[in-house]
Amino acid sequence: MAEEEVELEARLQEQESFDPPESFVEQANVSEPAIYEEFEENWPESWERAADLLDWYDDYDTVLDDSDAPFYKWFKEGTLNASHECLDRHLDDRGDEVAIEWVGELGETRTYTYAELHREVNEFAAALRELGVEEDDVVTMYMPMIPELPIAMLACARIGAPHSVVFAGFSADALATRMTSADSEYLVTCDGYYRRGDALEHKAKANEGLDGVDHDVTGIVVDRLGDEYDHPMRDDDHDYGDLVAAQAGAEVEPVERGAEDMLFLMYTSGTTGQPKGVKHTTGGYLSYVSWTSHAVLDVKPEDTYWCAADIGWITGHSYIVYGPLSLGTTSVMYEGTPDYPEKDRMWEIVEDYDVTQLYTAPTAIRAFMKWGKQYPEKRDLSSLRLLGTVGEPINPRAWKWYYKHIGGESCPIVDTWWQTETGGMMITTLPGIGTMKPGSAGPPLPGIGAEIVDTNGDEVGAGRAGYLTVDKPWPGMLRTLYKNDERFLSEYWEEYSDPDADEWVYFPEDGAKIDDDGYITVLGRVDDVINVSGHRLGTMEIESAIVGVEGVAEAAVVGGDHDLKGEAVYAYVITEDGYEGDADLEARIIEGVEDAIGPIARPEAVIFTPELPKTRSGKIMRRLLEDIANGDELGDTSTLRNPEVVEDIANKVGE
């Protein structure tokens, strides 16, 4: 390295705060610091600013109705349609501009202008109607990153049918559980897709899932692989291409939906083994993702914006589909992996399309760092104006690498904390205003109330770790868990609320600390949820898959630190009498987890042990198992019933 560069590197590593570049501030959608006070002083009416980004049919009469808290209602009596907001209203001015730039893994591309996307969404909406889909029927989608996925989502939105997208990497069992829970009688899926150049079958997996659903399901199958793969169709299946062709030129009037009507369901993991069906609404959710795309991602219609997430997760819903399209911009959608065919694939796409904003996850940034700066250096990344991260804490070193080697030290970075349940971003700097501090997400967004408290709900001082809480409602919040109000109350509102005083505090189940200047550093989950490569997995779900394997008596799953993935799955397993903890059982355990959930939940290590460390009351000491997985100094073992077992397990992991 040249001397100058060494100096620059050293300066960067020491620097603790970064101001947004002047050139960015000058053009930012939001650059007046007064916005924080404006929201505060005029709350909740200040949220009209978000609703004003949409084109409502009927105006709402109340911004926030908290009469039945925590079942809040936003923008009551307002009516709108999400497909109209994302398509129709852009047609006059931007019909010929690009809505979706799709890049397939093998290098093929597809471009949809707003007019073209509008046309196909209408045709598919007409086809869904013809198949019998009615307003409020839940339509499940089990699809990889192909354009037909957002098309199907918008077609559902058009006819008022909520969608439930199941990540394509989830297993057949996971699909069955979600379809059963949502009483969903329609499934849009595809024959297969490409991963690292190979065709992967998908339809047989979908069929296997449907075998586990008790009610009848009408299927719609997109032919992604063409002749390469002869996919097994069921009697109740229809070919997507045929359906759309039969509706050529059809127009479907968007259904007028109430602000509080459900737009979609998204299943996510929680403390128990049963996934939670998070319900998002049309008015509040759409206003919120539109507002945060505008204020935080600085999206403008003329941008080419790229969120490199998967639409199967909330990030893709909010910031590939609904946020950017509601603002009429160009949203890039990439089917494949970042290292295929070469490790510069992401940078090639940025260069080819002149991408202006890139929003990705720390796990990806850590991988880019490991591969080396020579890959981004090969490409012209000067079109980039803003960078973002989401999904897990980002360590300062990775933040600085991203800042320097991708952003060329001229792009602000927004480190955005939020969750499936929050619908959109909650804690982050505003890129046109806030100083950035690597590793710390920043202050809560204007209008968002966040506090760090101890177990009694009292605020903790600066620098001390506590629990993150949200003490004001916000438009993008989940409204309930599908058909399970009780669980909604107990999961999120029991811990810190005081119902007698009508005081409601949302608990996201994250630990955090706050600095003197109000910047929040999110430390990670405090429940039994682990975050593997930004994917949220419930340890209970994995444990129940493992104990379902023949020969397993008991299992405890924890998250251990992992350089690239953030966290990895560690499974401690006790075998049944007569079974050996050998390679065969390990392979069956891994298979069991992949079948029940999917390859993302595959254990990094399976550790066979005769006992698990338990307290005198019989509770498994997970903290200790985490310490062992991380090779950390072991905490206090004196409260254990069986302290001797700890060393045995630690030795095994060390082997």
Binding site for ligand PRX (CB under 6 A): 268, 314-315, 390-393, 415-420, 441, 508, 510, 522, 524-525, 531, 536
* Complex with ligand PRX: residue 179 or 600, whichever CB lies closer: 600
Question: 480 phi and psi, to 5 degrees?
Answer: -170, 180
- Rounded to whole angstroms, the Cα distance separating 299 from 293 reads 6
- Cα atoms found within 13 Å of the Cα of residue 290, Cβ hemisphere only: 24
Smallest gap from Cβ 535 to ligand PRX, in A, equals 7
Smallest gap from Cβ 600 to ligand PRX, in A, equals 12
- Rounded to whole angstroms, the Cα distance separating 477 from 281 reads 9
For 637-653, b where at least 16 C-beta lie within 10 A, e where not — what string? beebebeebbeebbeeb
- Contact partners, residue 580, CB within 8 Å, separation at least 6: none
Find residue 427's DSSP bridge partners.
417, 444
- Rounded to whole angstroms, the Cα distance separating 159 from 132 reads 11
- Rounded to whole angstroms, the Cα distance separating 141 from 217 reads 12
* Complex with ligand PRX: residue 321 or 589, whichever CB lies closer: 321
Smallest gap from Cβ 384 to ligand PRX, in A, equals 19
- Rounded to whole angstroms, the Cα distance separating 323 from 424 reads 9
Burial of 407 (C-beta count, 10 Å sphere; 0-12/13-18/19+): buried
- Cα–Cα distances in angstroms (integers) from residue 508 to residues 249, 490, 560, in the given order: 45, 12, 21
* Complex with ligand PRX: residue 229 or 467, whichever CB lies closer: 467
Which residue matches tokens 């999400």?
82
* Complex with ligand PRX: residue 81 or 281, whichever CB lies closer: 281
Smallest gap from Cβ 418 to ligand PRX, in A, equals 5
Q: Tell me the H-state helices in 218-282.
A: 240-246
* Complex with ligand PRX: residue 531 or 544, whichever CB lies closer: 531
Smallest gap from Cβ 140 to ligand PRX, in A, equals 19
Cβ atoms of 537 and 600 closer than 8 Å: yes
Cβ atoms of 611 and 633 closer than 8 Å: no
Smallest gap from Cβ 521 to ligand PRX, in A, equals 8
Give the three-state DSSP class for 121.
helix
* Complex with ligand PRX: residue 111 or 419, whichever CB lies closer: 419
Which residue matches tokens 């971003």?
425
Kindly tell me the sign of the dihedral angle through the C-alpha atoms of 76, 81, 86, 89.
negative
* Complex with ligand PRX: residue 345 or 536, whichever CB lies closer: 536
Smallest gap from Cβ 490 to ligand PRX, in A, equals 17
- Contact partners, residue 81, CB within 8 Å, separation at least 6: 57, 157, 158, 160, 254, 255, 256, 257, 282
* Complex with ligand PRX: residue 169 or 524, whichever CB lies closer: 524
* Complex with ligand PRX: residue 281 or 420, whichever CB lies closer: 420
Smallest gap from Cβ 82 to ligand PRX, in A, equals 20
Amino acid at 432: G
Smallest gap from Cβ 569 to ligand PRX, in A, equals 16
* Complex with ligand PRX: residue 199 or 526, whichever CB lies closer: 526
Q: What is the dihedral of CA 496, 501, 503, 504, to 10 degrees?
A: 60
- Rounded to whole angstroms, the Cα distance separating 179 from 165 reads 10
Find residue 474's DSSP bridge partners.
none
* Complex with ligand PRX: residue 324 or 391, whichever CB lies closer: 391
- Contact partners, residue 17, CB within 8 Å, separation at least 6: 435, 436, 437
Around Cβ 5, how many Cβ atoms within 10 Å?
9
Smallest gap from Cβ 398 to ligand PRX, in A, equals 12
Smallest gap from Cβ 420 to ligand PRX, in A, equals 3
Smallest gap from Cβ 149 to ligand PRX, in A, equals 18
Q: Token digits for 527?
A: 């429940």
Helix 203-211 and helix 172-181: axis angle, to 10°? Answer: 50
- Rounded to whole angstroms, the Cα distance separating 645 from 628 reads 12
* Complex with ligand PRX: residue 189 or 531, whichever CB lies closer: 531
Smallest gap from Cβ 449 to ligand PRX, in A, equals 17
* Complex with ligand PRX: residue 153 or 573, whichever CB lies closer: 153
Smallest gap from Cβ 343 to ligand PRX, in A, equals 25
* Complex with ligand PRX: residue 104 or 473, whichever CB lies closer: 473
Smallest gap from Cβ 468 to ligand PRX, in A, equals 8
* Complex with ligand PRX: residue 95 or 511, whichever CB lies closer: 511
- Rounded to whole angstroms, the Cα distance separating 442 from 20 reads 13
